[in-house]
């Protein structure tokens, strides 16, 4: 099977392209998203939220390649056999590309590893996501933007999950660039319109040393069910349609105009007196609040 | 044919000749969730696999 742009063998079917043209096409589409949504300004100091997996490594590489001022930030949740592998890859990658990397852990900030927070009643993804987002925002202070590796599959799944759960507030998070809100560092998602399979192919073709490792708690997540259902019927075009229509609807609704106050324990933005992360930390029988800013 | 399925961290030896997508069908693996690597090179689902090939099936779903 030949590439649609030359006589070389295709390495991918949709788009049907050889290695060279697939890489070019992929990078151009990421650039288009950056341009369309004005994700990066020349003066921006950007921190990339990195797990060491394919998505965040790809966006770290591309932002650096496109000339952005980038550093890497990783949160070690404390999941045995998962993040220790990906963090090792990330450290090697940052060393090779001369990118500054900072790592913070749940253990140092909350007092426990995620593995030790889980019991039969708790959903690991809820705990992990809440603490990870809170710590990421805390340690991204001083940067203009946080770039994440969320891809088209992640985002179309998130839109459906939040619709199914009637979580209209969270629908606002599934956008290529979040709004400027007091206390929050803006988030950008340059891979918003790139399917997960293409990110995996790109990182493989570029020879990035990343483990394609699934989190061991993935089977307990609500996302897993949505992902399987969506993959069973939705084509790439349908997932693109979900996101394009979602953005159109959001622009009309203008949800989430409510201002945030400050959490009385940690100082992070919160709609309530105590933020969700500190509530969770209290419930995990921690005697002290989290580290104040 | 030697085959490595990354998600299950499993090595197997099976007999198969045909298109990559038919191998995935036989193994009950969703084509959207994996990349197929033949003798170290990324291939498409329509490419032909021979029994002497070494195949890796890499999961595209990382994270949670």
> pLDDT tens, A120-168?
677 788 889 899 999 999 999 999 999 999 999 999 999 999 888 887 7
Nearest CA of chain A to the CA of B50: how many Å? Answer: 16
Name the residue among A16, A212, A231 with its Cβ closest to that of B32.
Answer: A231
CA nearest A200 in B: which residue? B60
pTM: 0.90
Name the residue among B33, B35, B45 with its Cβ closest to that of A231.
Answer: B33
Contact B64 A221 (CB under 8 A): yes
Please give the CATH number for the structural domain made up of B2-59.
Answer: 3.10.20.30
A219 at B interface, C-beta within 8 A? no
**Chain B interface, best mutation among A18, A127, A214, by max B CB count within 10 A:** A214
What are the DSSP E strand ranges found in chain A? 45-49, 69-76, 101-105, 145-147, 186-188, 261-262, 269-270
Among candidates A48, A55, A60, which has minimal Cα distance to A146? A48
Instruction: Name every residue whose Cβ is closer than 8 Å to that of residue B14 and which is 6 or more positions away in sequence.
Output: B1, B3
Domains of chain A, first to last:
1-36 (no CATH), 41-283 (3.40.50.620)
* Mean pLDDT score, B2-10: 90
pLDDT of residue B63: 61
> Which residues does chain A have within 8 Å of residue B6's beta carbon, measured at their own beta carbons?
212
A26 at B interface, C-beta within 8 A? no
CB atoms closer than 10 angstroms to residue B7: 16
Give the domain ranges of chain B.
2-59
Lowest mean pLDDT among A21-25, A104-108, A227-231: A227-231
Pairing of strands B34-38, B54-59: antiparallel
Contact A212 B60 (CB under 8 A): yes
Inter-chain CB pairs, A–B, below 8 Å: 71
Residue A220 Cα distances to A122, A223, A293, B28, angstroms: 10, 9, 32, 22
Contact A125 B60 (CB under 8 A): no
Contact A201 B41 (CB under 8 A): no
**Chain B interface, best mutation among A22, A78, A131, A197, by max B CB count within 10 A:** A197
pLDDT of residue A165: 83
Highest mean pLDDT of the ranges A20-34, A116-130, A159-173: A20-34
B6 at A interface, C-beta within 8 A? yes
Residue A59 has pLDDT above 70, yes or no: yes
A156 at B interface, C-beta within 8 A? no
- SS3 assignment, position A269: strand
Nearest CA of chain B to the CA of A212: how many Å? Answer: 5
**Which pLDDT tens digit goes with each residue over A184-216?**
999 999 999 999 999 999 999 999 988 767 788
Residue A292 has pLDDT above 50, yes or no: no
Q: Where does the pLDDT of residue A254 fall: very low under 50, low under 70, confident under 90, or very high at 90 and above?
A: low
B41 at A interface, C-beta within 8 A? yes
A33 at B interface, C-beta within 8 A? no
Residue A198 Cα distances to A190, A205, A279, angstroms: 14, 10, 38
pLDDT of residue A285: 63
CA of residue A228 relative to chain centroid, distance: 19
């Amino acid at each position: 099977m030949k590439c649609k742009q030359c006589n070389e063998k295709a390495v991918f079917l949709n788009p049907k392209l050889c290695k060279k043209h697939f890489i070019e096409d992929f990078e151009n589409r990421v650039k288009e998203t950056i341009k369309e949504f004005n994700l990066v300004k020349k003066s921006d100091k950007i921190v990339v939220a990195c797990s060491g997996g394919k998505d965040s490594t790809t966006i770290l590489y591309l932002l650096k390649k496109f000339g952005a001022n980038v550093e890497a930030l990783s949160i070690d949740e404390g999941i045995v056999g998962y993040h220790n592998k990906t963090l090792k890859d990330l450290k090697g990658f940052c060393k090779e590309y001369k990118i500054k990397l900072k790592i913070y852990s749940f253990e140092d900030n909350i007092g426990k590893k995620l593995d030790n927070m889980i019991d039969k009643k708790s959903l690991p993804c809820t705990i992990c996501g809440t603490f990870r987002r809170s710590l990421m925002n805390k340690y991204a202070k001083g940067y203009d933007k946080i770039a994440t590796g969320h891809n088209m599959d992640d985002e179309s799944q998130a839109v459906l999950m939040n619709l199914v759960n009637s979580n209209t507030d969270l629908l606002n998070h599934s956008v290529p660039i979040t709004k400027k809100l007091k206390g929050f560092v803006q988030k950008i998602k340059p891979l918003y319109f790139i399917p997960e399979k293409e990110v995996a192919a790109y990182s493989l073709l570029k020879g990035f040393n990343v483990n394609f490792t699934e989190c061991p708690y993935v089977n307990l997540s609500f996302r897993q069910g949505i992902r399987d259902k969506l993959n069973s019927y939705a084509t790439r075009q349908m997932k693109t349609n979900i996101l394009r229509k979602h953005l159109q609807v959001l622009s009309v609704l203008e949800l989430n105009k409510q201002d945030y106050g400050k959490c009385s324990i940690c100082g992070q933005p919160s709609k309530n007196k105590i933020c969700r992360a500190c509530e969770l930390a209290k419930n995990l029988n921690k005697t002290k609040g989290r580290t104040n800013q | 044919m030697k085959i490595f399925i990354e998600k299950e961290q499993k090595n197997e030896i099976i007999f198969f000749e045909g298109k990559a997508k038919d191998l995935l069908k036989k193994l009950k693996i969703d084509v959207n969730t994996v990349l197929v690597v033949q003798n170290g090179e990324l291939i498409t689902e329509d490419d032909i696999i021979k029994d002497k090939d070494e195949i890796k099936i890499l999961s595209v779903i990382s994270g949670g």
